[in-house]
Each structure stands twice: as C-alpha cells, then as structure tokens.
Chain A
Amino acid sequence: MSVTVDAVAGARAEPESVFEQSEAGEVEDSETSALVGLVAQGRHAFGAPWVSVSGAAWGYLPEGEASLLRLEPGAGLVLGRSEGWHGDLAVRYALLEVLGFPEVVSGRAELVGRFGWGGGPHRLELVGGALDHAYWQRPAWSLRAAEAGAQWRTQGDHLATLVRAGGQVNQGEDDAGAQLRTRGSLGWTAPRLDLALGYDLIVATGGEDDTVFRPPFDPMGAPNGDADALSAGGFVQHGLDLRAWTDLGPAELTVQARGRIRDRGPYETLNATVDLARPLSDQLAVHGLVGLAAWRIGANDLLDPYGWIGLRWTPTP
C-alpha cells in the first residue's frame, strides 16, 4: 500500500476562470486568491489487479467560491509481461464538486484498455477507451466518447518511441461527431532522468458548432482532455507536450508543458508546471510548484499563473 498526502498553500491569479464564463466563452476577471489544498492518494497492487483512490480539497480564500472537492477511485489489471502477450485495463471515476458553482458539479467515468504482443524492443498493441462526463446541472457540457486504434511502441535501453493512429466517435448534448487521432512520442530514460516529448494531431468532423464554450483546463489549471473530445463542428488541432523528470539526489524536479493550437479560432492554449520536491526525512518532503495556464480563444485571452508550497507525507507501510 502506497500513500501520499500533500498539504499546500499558495495563490492563484484567476481561480474562477473555469467557471465564470458565459456560453460564448467570455471570461470575467477574478481576483487573485490565496489557496490551500489537501491532496491524498493511495494505491495498492494485489499482483495483477491494482486499486487506487485519490481525494483532494482545494479552498480559495477569502471568498472560497471556486473551492472544490474531488474524489477519484480507480482500479485496473496488468496482464502478462511486455515480452509476449500482454494487456492492461484501467477504470477511474471522478466526482467533482465546486462550492459556489453547483451547476458544474460532475461525474466522469473513464475506461482505457490495450492488448498486444511484444518481442524484443517492439510492442504492437490495440488500444481503446471510453469516457462519459456528466454535468448534471449543466447538460450542455456533458459528453461521451469512445476511441479505438492501434499503436506501435519500441523500448530500448534508453529510447522509447510510440506511433499511434485511431478513430474516435463523440456525442455531445445533441449532435455526434467523429475524429481521426494520431500521436507520436519520443522518450529518453537515463539513470535519474526521464524525458518525453509528444505530438498529437486531431482531425475532427461533425458535432455541434463550437458555440458552447468548454474550459480548456480543469479547475486546477491542468489541460482538460475533455475540451478535445467533442468535434465542435470540425477542426484540425495540433498538440505538443513535454515532460522532464530528474532525481537530483537532494531533490526531484518535474517539468511539464502542453500546448495546442486549432485551425478554427484563434484557439491556442498553454499549460506549464515546474515542481520541485526535496526530502526532509524518509517520510516527509517539502515541495513547491509554479504553473501557468494561458489561453486565447476567440476574442478572449486569459493568463492564470499559480503556485504553492507544501509538505508531502509518505508514510511507509
């Protein structure tokens, strides 16, 4: 059983940006708020099956309007070894409640699976997934999607590559759409270092015209994949993401960034975070994060820097 508990305090420039939009996506400026957070994650593997649960409470001060609670149970199976026949299955449910914005309370169920064969450095896999995100009080934001495809991965001593292509169908409140999705990524792992760079292309057709604005980030500023799930009248979108992680000995540094650009627009978004964790003892670490969420969608611009510092407790079993 592995457990991690984070208690953090910091500030965010636009805490209500995700919720304070009109249907056309106009964002009202909100005031910079102090934030406090408590995030707990637990997971356990029973051999092939594993279970996890994550809970988070984020509070904004002094008004607390966009404060939120999130609970995420998950489970999965790891079958076989990558050499030979293998499969992976994972399910997760996320329940999100935002205090002060009851209309965006939602439940999101997600399933991913892959099944494939590996020999030497090569892996050929069929991949699939489905999601259902229900906003019970705001059905215009609800969506469902299912995706299937194939991917080829290579894994050497240091270099890992992935090429994937697949199709996706999606259903919004009224109209359905379809997407062609491709992704390529490169990864490099050396002792105490892991780098990953990915590019994805989405060609979407059908669906409702993009008159209903969907937040490109989740309430804590991370890129929201749901914003890409609906075809929204059709678009071509390019996405670029990178992740760098290094164990510096006395500290662990993680840098992540993701940007996307659509041909219909302007529609440009960027999210970047830098996270530094330094152990204080076997069970306790201090960590800090600075992040930036930025978007330019239609006539609306938003720049939302945020950051926090806190303590991480990892009790040993």
Chain B
Amino acid sequence: MIVWLAMLLIAGARAGDEDVRELQREVAELAAAVGRARTEGARRQVVEGLMASYRARAQVLQDLLEPLQAAEQDERRRARAAALTAVIEATARGQRDLEARQVLAAWIGAADGATVERLSAALDQAEQDPILGEALRADVAEVAGALAVCATYDAAEAGRDAARDAGRAAALRAAARSGTPEALEGVADAERLEREAAAATTRQQEAVVVEQAARRVEARAAGTTP
C-alpha cells in the first residue's frame, strides 16, 4: 500500500485545489447526466438544455484550471489534467476517447472495486500518519476524483453498448413478429445481442457502484464528510 502511494507521489501527484475538485465533480456529474439523456433517447431540447448547463460549468472550471495548468511544470500532470477534461467531455458528448481514457488508466489503474479498496486503505493509513497524513489525504482525494470520472465514463460507455445491443435485438425480434419467422441467423444474432446487452448492463451497474464508492473516498479524503 505504502509502495503504491509512494509511486503516486513519485509520479508527481499532489494536492489540488478543493474548489477546483468540487467543481470538477459537479461538471463530471453534469456530463454524466447529458450522456444518460443521450443514451435514453431524450428529446433534443432536453439534451441541449443539459448540455448548456454542462457547458456553462465546464467553462467556469476551464477558467479556473487554465492558469493552474499554465503554471504546471510537470508534463505528466498536465497530460492527466487534459485527459480528465477530455474524458468528461467525451462522457457529455456520448462518445469514446480511448486515448484520454488510457492516460488515466496508466495513472490510476483499473477503475474497479479493488482500486477503491486500495484508496480506502491508503486513506486509513494516511489518517494514522501525523507527518505525511495531509499530503497523502490530498493525493487520495485527487486519485479518487479521477477514478470517479473514469467510472462515470465507463458506465456511460457500457450504457451506450447496452442500449445499442438491446435496440438491435428489439428490432430483430420485432421483425420476427411481423407474421413470419425471422431467418435463423437473425434469431442467433438476437440471442447474442440480448446476452451482450445484459452483460453491458452489468458492467454499467458495476461502474456506477465504483463511481459512488470513489466519490465517498474522495469526500472522506477531502474532509467534506464526517
């Protein structure tokens, strides 16, 4: 655990501004809301309204981040901040950004329950450390925030996969109900698509659990929860 945290420290992670992190969380949640609306096929006006709310707060965040990023000497931290922004933007637009997602994966590891547990355990240790405690808590908060952003992106991606596969399967089933049997290959396609839609829904639910757990760790590390 200490080794893992030390690696984060060596890699240059350090405390970020609390206001920035809070705003980043808000922007990520707004992005997730737009992504969900797109996946669910909400009306254009609804999506545009949510997108406008997201854009407004994302602009405030960018205005805050720009001077910080300009002053940032560490190239890796600049790349991570840019990747974080790109992943949030991709979530809002209902698109993939594999490159940005890989940058974050290289930083925080897999966006799964094991990573959340490691962060939580690191936080336990930080709370016992009178010397490095504050710095470690800030690092955990930063990583947990990034993890939550990744999990939100993963949930949105899995949700889109599930909706797409379920939609195609529904179309094939509907075609088969039009009075005559569907070609056998279409039946096999529908079976596979339904199974993959169910698997994507499970992935989405797991990512939501990770996102919520990461947010709890982030809040605990930032001292915003009792």
- Residues of A near any B CB (own CB < 8 A): 4, 6, 37, 39, 41, 45, 50, 52, 54, 72, 74, 76, 78, 81-82, 88-92, 94, 110-112, 114, 129, 157-158, 160, 187, 189-194, 196, 218, 220-222, 225, 243, 245, 247, 252, 254, 256, 273, 275, 277, 289, 291, 308, 312
Contacts and interface: CB of A to CB of B under 8 A. Distances in A.
7 contacts: A76-B188, A189-B164, A189-B168, A245-B174, A245-B175, A273-B178, A291-B178
B191 interface: yes
Contacts of B185: 90, 112, 129
Given A114-B188, A221-B180, A222-B180, 19 more contacts: A4-B177, A78-B191, A81-B196, A88-B189, A88-B191, A90-B188, A92-B184, A112-B184, A157-B95, A189-B164, A190-B41, A194-B168, A220-B180, A222-B179, A247-B167, A254-B178, A277-B174, A289-B179, A291-B178
A160 B199 CA distance: 19
A89 B41 CA distance: 33
- Interface of chain A, main secondary structure: strand
A6 B178 CA distance: 10
Interface string B179-206: 1110111011101101110010000000
Contact of A88 (B96, B176, B188): B188
B101 interface: no
B164 A192 contact: no
A160 B191 CA distance: 17
B38 interface: yes
B39 interface: yes
Contact of A254 (B94, B175, B180, B184): B175
Contacts of A256: 175, 178
B180 A218 contact: yes
A81 B187 contact: no
Q: Interface size bucket, B side? A: 20 to 34
B160 interface: yes
